[in-house]
């Protein structure tokens, strides 16, 4: 959950988000190094008069041609690795189907015979004390922690987007098309997200809440709903 005046990312709660934060820091350090080098060279050029050795230096031209290529490789390799990791779906323990509507979400636990529900935002007037305004829902998604989860995402009317920042998940919900993504929660907790695609007048009022619990609590919750 983000805090007021927070400058960084939310605390990572999945391996993918940890990799994304690490890559962000890596790219930021590369950009900081480049900016510092350019500013140093500009200051040096302004301080000293230009000479023929500075203007006609083939060695310098060779360096500033090869160096950007090396920098791009340093950025591309970890980026491609994360992209492949985000697309990897290997024997999920649980499959959920999320369907976007105007303006609420429907969820189906496809591994269970009859476990599905609609998830609406709780109005401000009915919000319990201590809960988050515009982020709390009447029915949360409950998943077991440290288990691979596969999400199948689609929409019933217009474009939506199912996004949980702390899990590093953001997948478009497109009518007539099934998109899928996967994630693993590394700790118990309640994770908040919102529709991240402008989908109409009430786009801001269809939040997403994922509750990560130990496996025993998830089994008790699912058996309670299916009986």
pTM, 2 dp: 0.83
User: Domain 94-226 is classified in which CATH homologous superfamily?
Assistant: Cupredoxins -  blue copper proteins (2.60.40.420)
> What per-residue confidence (pLDDT) applies to 186?
92
Q: Can you name the residues that pair with 96 across neighbouring β-strands?
A: 109, 151
Domain 15-87 adopts which CATH fold? Helix Hairpins (1.10.287)
Q: Which residues of 181-204 are buried (b: 16+ CB within 10 A; e: fewer)?
A: bbbbbbeeeebbbbbbbebeeebe
> Where does CATH 1.10.287.90 sit in the chain?
15-87
What does the pLDDT look like over 141-187, one tens digit per residue? 999 999 999 999 999 999 999 999 999 999 999 999 999 999 999 99
Domain with CATH 2.60.40.420 in the chain: 94-226
């Amino acid at each position: 959950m983000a805090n007021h005046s927070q400058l960084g990312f939310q605390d990572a709660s999945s391996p993918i988000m940890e990799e994304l934060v690490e890559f962000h820091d890596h790219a930021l350090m590369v950009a900081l190094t480049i900016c510092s080098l350019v500013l140093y060279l500009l200051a040096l050029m302004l301080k000293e008069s230009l000479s023929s050795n500075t203007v006609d230096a083939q060695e310098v031209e060779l360096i500033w041609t090869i160096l950007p290529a090396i920098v791009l490789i340093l950025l591309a390799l970890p980026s491609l690795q994360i992209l492949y990791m985000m697309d990897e779906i290997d024997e999920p323990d649980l499959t959920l189907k999320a369907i976007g509507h105007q303006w609420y979400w429907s969820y189906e636990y496809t591994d269970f015979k009859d476990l599905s529900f609609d998830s609406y935002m709780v109005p401000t007037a009915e919000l319990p004390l201590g809960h988050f305004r515009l982020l709390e829902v009447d029915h949360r998604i409950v998943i077991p922690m440290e288990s691979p989860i596969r999400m199948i995402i689609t929409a019933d009317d217009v474009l939506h987007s199912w996004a949980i920042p702390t899990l590093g998940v953001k997948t478009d919900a497109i009518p007539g098309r099934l998109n899928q993504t996967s994630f693993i929660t590394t700790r118990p907790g309640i994770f908040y997200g919102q529709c991240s695609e402008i989908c109409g007048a009430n786009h801001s009022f269809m939040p997403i809440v994922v509750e990560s619990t130990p496996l025993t609590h998830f089994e008790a919750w699912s058996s309670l709903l299916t009986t």
